[in-house]
Chains A and B, each alone.
Chain A
């Protein structure tokens, strides 16, 4: 069986001075699947997300989304090409309601630009209604009920901010969704809800990249796992393969070499 690769990265590298934060990493992700990216702290996971989104320019390598090479394009172009992300600490914009934050996520679907809004303000109103509708659907999907929508997003409880952030990413209707430790700070039941949400998002036909330390979640929902250590790909494969991989166990438990 061959799956069409939605995201295909090859030989991606990034150094900061003499530190190889990400070195020669290649893998591919299929649509409709959750792929997990794991590794000890400092392994280069967040750097890799920043390289994929274009926040940091890669030194080398190709990043293909549906066959189109995005390496070298600015972050906003990649967002428009269908890459969305969430952040390790939720980034709710100050002074904006929950609904507005998510509407802002649908930025690339707005029909009016700056000049359009000056010349034909009624378009803005129609556009706003459509975007609010879209945002509402996304919020309902991540389980943020309507009573929260009018509140300042930055005042929400942490768990809700995480959901709002996923809703904002969904409002971008991404082909590829990158989640940077979405379960951090969530309790067990919240984490379980998140897991099933991610599975359903993948089932839309999106590729989901999950960076996460919660191994229970990673093992239960990912079809494919990529392990990073010191910026290099240590192993990749199905959850069962990874669980049994000696190198991976060594990297996590810190065993350097066997005692003779």
Chain B
């Protein structure tokens, strides 16, 4: 078998096993509270970013509103735990299913837009969600107090942070496995054709309107899972966590990571979460340095920082 025939899916599963082992190792080794929280937040955001990579990178449909689905996931978990008294597993399942269904329903009308209009439409979606979440106090608690005092995840002698860490590893691997099965299969190839030309995708027999709705739903589900985990981890939060800022951050994670592989999203999430912390030293100039860093990444690594670093690394090795 020649190289191009060996299954990309098999390769992605190997990478997945590697990532899982690495994260498990990190869980055992890292003791600093601060480092733990950074890694947990990176993993949680990765789940949403992997989903967004499917939508933006593979299907070529921009969304500036996925923060809303993260929020829906988070409130779903809070509602299930506090009001319905459901076990955590069911709460998380609901945080996957509900945003998925809402995403599917919203996708048809909103994906009639494309390009800049789609970006604006999804941006509006995110903004509307923020306003609604801040107002529907019965469910969300509004901006003050918001959701407070979700139960601790401490379980069988493991502290809250450790349990969430393991849950996040599991969720991230699940998200990556789902994404890999999609992009390396028939549907993923169809999406890549769709990204280049909707016309060609139709002419090979793909129902593009339906395909776009499906992938929007999948990305919304993963955003919901991410939100559910975020709720479990933070235990207290309000609507301001799911504003337009989060949507843009998620998109940045995808772009900084890589638009063409699902693994880039993990790298991107880590970079976007860690970078502001590294820049603390710049104090007042923090935002400026952050902005400049983003512009430099766009200029010199338009395919994503993750992908570019990977290329440079493999190039060095080959020429050495």
Contact = CB atoms under 8 A, between A and B. Distances in A.
Contact of A91 (B180, B182, B185, B197): B197
Contacts of A149: 2, 4
A74 B207 CA distance: 9
Interface in B181-204: 181-182, 184-187, 189-190, 192-193, 195-197, 199-200, 202-204
Nearest to B194: A93
Given A93-B193, A172-B204, A112 B199 contact: no
B205 interface: yes
B143 interface: no
A96 B189 contact: yes
Contact of A76 (B202, B214, B260): B202
A92 B197 CA distance: 9
A92 B199 CA distance: 12
B185 A112 contact: yes
B177 interface: yes
Chain B's interface: helix, strand, loop or mixed, by majority? helix
A105 B208 CA distance: 14
Interface string A108-138: 1010111001100100110111011000000
A125 B204 contact: no
Contacts of B3: 150
Chain A's interface: helix, strand, loop or mixed, by majority? helix
A79 B184 CA distance: 22
Contacts of B178: 118
A75 interface: yes
B185 A79 contact: no
Contacts of B200: 87, 91, 93
A100 B5 contact: no
Contacts of A84: 203-204
25 contacts: A75-B199, A79-B204, A79-B205, A85-B203, A87-B200, A91-B196, A93-B197, A94-B195, A99-B5, A103-B189, A104-B192, A105-B204, A107-B186, A107-B189, A110-B185, A113-B186, A117-B186, A117-B187, A118-B178, A121-B181, A124-B181, A127-B185, A129-B7, A132-B5, A150-B3
Closest CB pairs A-B (n = 5): A150-B4, A110-B186, A79-B205, A75-B202, A93-B196
A150 B6 CA distance: 11
B195 A124 contact: no
A85 B2 CA distance: 30
Contacts of B190: 104, 107
Interface string A67-103: 0000000111001100011010001111111011101
